Amino acid sequence: MSSGISLKEIRDKVEGNEMDLSLMQITKVPVKEILSIAKATSVDLSCNQIIRLPENFCSTLHYLIKLDLSKNLLEELPHDIYKLSALQHLDLYDNKLTTLPVDISRMKTLKYLDLKDNPLDPVLVKIVGGCLDDKECKKCATQVIAHFKVLSSDMERKRQEVLKRDREKQALIKQAEEEEERKKNIERKKAKKVEKEARRKRWEEIQRVKEIETKKRKRTDESSSESERDSSDDRKKDLSKSKSWLLSFWGVLLMSILAVFASAIGIRLYCQENEANEECILVRDWTNNYKEATREHLGAFVQNAKQIVNFGLAKLSGVAKNLGY
């Protein structure tokens, strides 16, 4: 064992519920070995060289009722001293303690406390008293616990104040962050609104341009349609004029021919009945004289008529082709 004490030696130091480990030059408390003899609720570790108690001392030996640590070299007590929840008697006489842990105020069962001959803080010295007898040691226990309760209460109050200030600070920070976020949200909403308005204006501009282009196309289409209608009407008028001209030509020609034949037939019939008439004699002489010439001229006339007809048909065909028929 690190303490240099065997388990057998420790067992030899037990009598009833008391364990006497004093005057054994112990520097480290044998917690595990003490625990193995759980019936010992009173442990005497006085007159050794213990500087500090192990970390697991209080939580492991929580069942102890009496603990004597007088005449050691203890400079401080563990902060979890309150875990010795059954302890009633604590002797710390002649150590090197300057103060006590605040949580000693939680040792509700502590009835006896000896702190004389320790280099305690002056304030604590007044509270501890002389500890010259059992009565003063009991009074010491009561006053120390009361003092550290007040101290604990003050520390708790200060801690709560610090926590309150921290909460208020955090609340202010959170409020500032929320305000900043709110401003950012407002700015984002404004930006979205501006962007939306810009998109709306762009859309309206596009629609306006489209409407103008549509109207232009419509006017162009109407102009084109009107031009086509005018051109078609002009072509129809030209064709109608050409047809009228051709019909007039053929009509005049036909009427002329009919007139000539009608005159000739009339003259012939008249002269057959009035052969002695001078005009009929002249006509008959003229007819005989120019009969041959008439035949020749008639052939030429027919030829000329054919040329005229072909010329008219060619002209009519050219006009129709230009009009797209």
Contact by Cβ (8 Å): 82, 102: no
Q: What is the pLDDT of residues 13-29, one digit of tens each?
A: 999 999 999 999 999 99
Can you give the pTM of this predicted structure? 0.54
Contacts of residue 146, defined as CB under 8 A and 6 or more positions apart, other chains included, come to: 105
Amino acid letter for position 103: D
CA distance linking residue 68 with residue 20, whole number of Å: 9
Task: List the structure tokens of 186.
Answer: 């407002």
Task: List the structure tokens of 211.
Answer: 């409407």
The pLDDT of 209-214, averaged and rounded, is 90
139: pLDDT confidence band, cut at 50, 70 and 90? very high
The pLDDT of 285-297, averaged and rounded, is 63
What kind and span of H or E run contains 269? helix 134-273
The H helix count followed by the E strand count for the chain is 7, 6
pLDDT-above-90 percentage for the chain: 54
| DSSP state for residue 287 in the 8-state scheme | H
Q: What is the pLDDT of residues 199-211, one digit of tens each?
A: 999 999 999 998 8
Q: Which residue has the higher pLDDT, 245 or 202?
A: 202
Residue with tokens 């003899």: 37
292: pLDDT confidence band, cut at 50, 70 and 90? low
pLDDT score of 306 more than 50: yes
Q: Is 113 helix (H, G, I), strand (E, B) or coil?
A: strand
The pLDDT of 212-225, averaged and rounded, is 83
Count other C-beta atoms under 10 Å from residue 87's C-beta: 24
Q: Which residue has the higher pLDDT, 163 or 289?
A: 163
Burial of 85: CB neighbours in 10 Å, binned 0-12, 13-18, 19+: middle
143: pLDDT confidence band, cut at 50, 70 and 90? very high
Contact by Cβ (8 Å): 145, 104: yes
CA distance linking residue 301 with residue 26, whole number of Å: 169
Contact by Cβ (8 Å): 45, 69: yes
pLDDT at position 256? 72
Maximum mean pLDDT: which of 198-207, 243-252, 272-281:
198-207
Nearest to residue 89, comparing CAs of 138, 46, 132?
Answer: 138
Lowest-pLDDT range, 16-30, 42-56, 272-286?
A: 272-286
Q: 7-132 has which CATH code?
A: 3.80.10.10
2: pLDDT confidence band, cut at 50, 70 and 90? very low
Label residues 254-271 b or e (16+ Cβ within 10 Å = b): eeeeeeeeeeeeeeeeeb
pLDDT at position 65? 97
Q: What is the pLDDT of residues 60-112, one digit of tens each?
A: 999 999 999 999 999 999 999 999 999 999 999 999 999 999 999 999 999 99
pLDDT at position 222? 78
Nearest to residue 105, comparing CAs of 50, 69, 135, 143?
Answer: 143
CA distance linking residue 274 with residue 179, whole number of Å: 138
Q: What are phi and psi of 250, to 5 degrees?
A: -65, -35
Q: Which residue has the higher pLDDT, 71 or 293?
A: 71
pLDDT at position 133? 94
Task: List the structure tokens of 175.
Answer: 């409020």
Sign for the pseudo-dihedral over CA of 29, 32, 38, 39:
negative
pLDDT at position 1? 38
pLDDT at position 312? 64
pLDDT at position 140? 96
The pLDDT of 213-223, averaged and rounded, is 84
